[in-house]
Amino acid sequence: MTNPAASEKAIKIILEKFGKIEGLVNNAGVNDGVGLEHGNYDAFMASLHKNLVHYYLLAHYALPSLISTKGAIVNISSKTAETGQGGTSAYAAANGGRNALTREWAVELLKYGIRVNAIIVAECWTPLYAKWIETMPEPAKKLDSIVANIPLEKRMTTAEEIANTAAFLLSSASSHTTGQLIHVDGGYVHLDRALANA
């Protein structure tokens, strides 16, 4: 997805195969650790292409079909835009951009009846997350320390829980919901930190 032409090609292939697009979920990206102190311009810009630019391009190319179907857009974003993380300026900036585009598109696309929302992810167990944990000196201990800070049930969010929320936001069950940043995170971002130790 870092190649802009790939976004246009992906939408073209979908339209050729299915004839229409009723929903778009922007989800590709990676926390690549391009920070302020040890980063550089090229790495920062590359991270924006890896994590943000294709969100705009896919929505742009899918828009004519979304207009005709009165479809919906769901942008997957990250807590890093709101909480900071340290050492990951580019990823945080990209997610801030995802959140801003969600609100901007919700306004711009009102006239077409297209709803645009975002899911904010905190600690979600995925193959990429599992791979990252294994790079830690003591993976199990690191995972335990992360899970201990998740208020609801002291566990990671599952990919299925993110998918379920995406399906809801794409469906008519959320027919009057737009411009929302919905946190599917077990209370990680907004609940009092004291709860994590309760």
117-166 pLDDT, tens digit per residue, is 999 999 999 988 899 899 999 999 999 999 999 999 999 999 999 999 99
- Main-chain phi, psi angles of 148, to 5 degrees: -65, -20
Residue 197's pLDDT is: 66
Q: Is the pLDDT of residue 14 over 90?
A: yes
Mean pLDDT of the chain: 94
Q: Is the pLDDT of residue 111 over 90?
A: yes
pLDDT digits (tens, 9 = 90+) for 66-109: 999 999 999 999 999 999 889 999 999 999 999 999 999 999 99
Q: CA-to-CA distance for 168 and 54, rounded, in angstroms? A: 23
Considering the candidates 55, 61, 91, 188, report the single residue annotated as catalytic: 91
More confident position, 170 or 126: 170
Residue 91 known to be catalytic: yes
User: What letter does residue 50 receive in the DSSP assignment?
Assistant: I
Residue 192's pLDDT is: 80
Which distant-in-sequence residues (6+ apart) come within 8 Å of 31 by Cβ? 78, 80, 85, 88, 91
- Which of 185, 166, 161 shows the shortest CA–CA distance to 177? 166
Banded pLDDT at 21 (limits 50, 70, 90): very high
Q: CA-to-CA distance for 186 and 155, rounded, in angstroms? A: 8
Domains, the chain, in order of start with CATH, read 4-197 (3.40.50.720)
Q: CA-to-CA distance for 131 and 123, rounded, in angstroms? A: 14
Q: Is the pLDDT of residue 194 over 80?
A: no
Residue 103's pLDDT is: 98
For helices 41-48 and 89-108, what crossing angle results, to 10°?
Answer: 40
Q: CA-to-CA distance for 130 and 139, rounded, in angstroms? A: 9
